[in-house]
């Protein structure tokens, strides 16, 4: 005998078939790529979120001293620990790791021109004044310019700026440690970041891997 279905039965089966197709379509779709989303959003200035502001010094691995922003717009890594020109104000540019860095005393931002030279600017809104913080395996931090990808903030052994076009991530000249200024106690926002103060305990694990030479 032939099988027959009533109109209501056919409607019921059709609805189940459509529901099955929809479920199968959802199942085969790839999950959201959160890593890609973070990478894309980190390239765009965040105009909505509240800026996170940190205060620290940048210890240069090569010069053994600190980055400073002077009143004549010059930037070098010749400052002693606690020097007023070595105190830096670091403002987040996105929810990622891009920041703008300026001297607390002079108000000039650390920027990079098209020749790869570090310069000071009163207005730090351009991408040439934005750096991406890259934490390296040896626990040092490298600062890559956002406008000139592959160019890093760097200083020679004498503390002079090195052209960004001549820098690479593995070079000692681009390696820095974040240090709190003398007498500056870490407040709540600072707890999300790691600060190093020398000298280290010789028995500590970190000393063996990252103490400056």
> pLDDT tens-digit profile of 101-158?
999 999 999 999 999 999 999 999 999 999 999 999 999 999 999 999 999 999 999 9
Determine if the pTM surpasses 0.75. no
pLDDT of residue 85: 97
For the chain, the maximum distance between any two Cα atoms, rounded to a whole number of angstroms, is 99
| Cα 41 from Cα 54, distance rounded (Å) | 21
Torsion angle, alpha carbons of 79, 122, 164, 76, to 10: -10
Q: Which two tokens stand for residue 188?
A: 């709540």
Q: Which two tokens stand for residue 23?
A: 């479920």
The arithmetic mean of pLDDT across residues 65-86, rounded, is 96
* Domains of the chain in sequence order: 57-210 (2.80.10.50)
pLDDT of 209 higher than 70: no
Neighbours of 174 (CB within 10 A): 26
pLDDT of residue 130: 96
| Cα 186 from Cα 181, distance rounded (Å) | 10
């Amino acid at each position: 005998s032939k099988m027959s279905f009533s109109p209501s039965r056919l409607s019921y089966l059709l609805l189940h078939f459509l529901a099955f197709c929809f479920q199968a379509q959802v199942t085969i779709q790839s999950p959201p790529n959160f890593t890609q989303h973070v990478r894309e959003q980190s390239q765009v200035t965040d105009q909505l979120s509240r800026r996170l502001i940190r205060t620290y010094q940048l210890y240069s691995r090569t010069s053994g001293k600190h980055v400073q922003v002077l009143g004549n717009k010059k930037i070098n890594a010749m400052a002693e620990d606690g020097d007023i020109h070595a105190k830096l104000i670091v403002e987040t540019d996105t929810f990622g790791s891009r920041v703008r860095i300026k001297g607390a005393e002079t108000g000039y931002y650390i920027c990079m021109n098209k020749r790869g030279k570090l310069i000071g600017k009163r207005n730090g809104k351009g991408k040439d004044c934005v750096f991406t913080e890259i934490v390296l395996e040896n626990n040092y931090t490298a600062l890559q310019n956002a406008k000139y990808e592959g160019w890093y903030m760097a200083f020679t052994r004498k503390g002079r700026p090195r052209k960004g076009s001549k820098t690479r991530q593995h070079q000692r000249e681009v390696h820095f440690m974040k240090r709190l200024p003398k007498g500056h106690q870490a407040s709540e926002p600072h707890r999300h970041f790691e600060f190093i103060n020398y000298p280290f305990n010789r028995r500590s694990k970190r000393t063996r891997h990252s103490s400056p030479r």
